[in-house]
Amino acid sequence: MDRGNIRVGGTYLCSSDYLSWSFIGRAVSMGKYTVKVELLKCHPSDRLALDSDNPVLKVNYLSVLDAI
């Protein structure tokens, strides 16, 4: 997804090196090349790899796949 189309507060389908599957998240802040995404929904097997109930993941903006 183009960096210019990503908006803070928007909900997106994302991928991450930390997780095996894609996940749904809400953008909470943006840097020059990264987006901090609050994880909203993920595959149950990936939930075990996370250390908190509502994690915020820092992902490259190219890992934001599509708006939902």
Per residue in 10-66, pLDDT (tens digit) is: 999 999 888 999 999 999 999 999 999 999 999 998 888 787 777 999 999 999 999
Write down the pLDDT at residue 3: 81
Sign of CA dihedral 16, 24, 27, 38: negative
| CATH number of the domain located at residue range(s) 3-67 in this protein | 2.30.30
Q: How far is CA 37 from the centre of its chain?
A: 4
Domains of the chain, by residue range, sit at 3-67
State in Å, rounded, how far the first CA of the chain is from the last one. Answer: 12
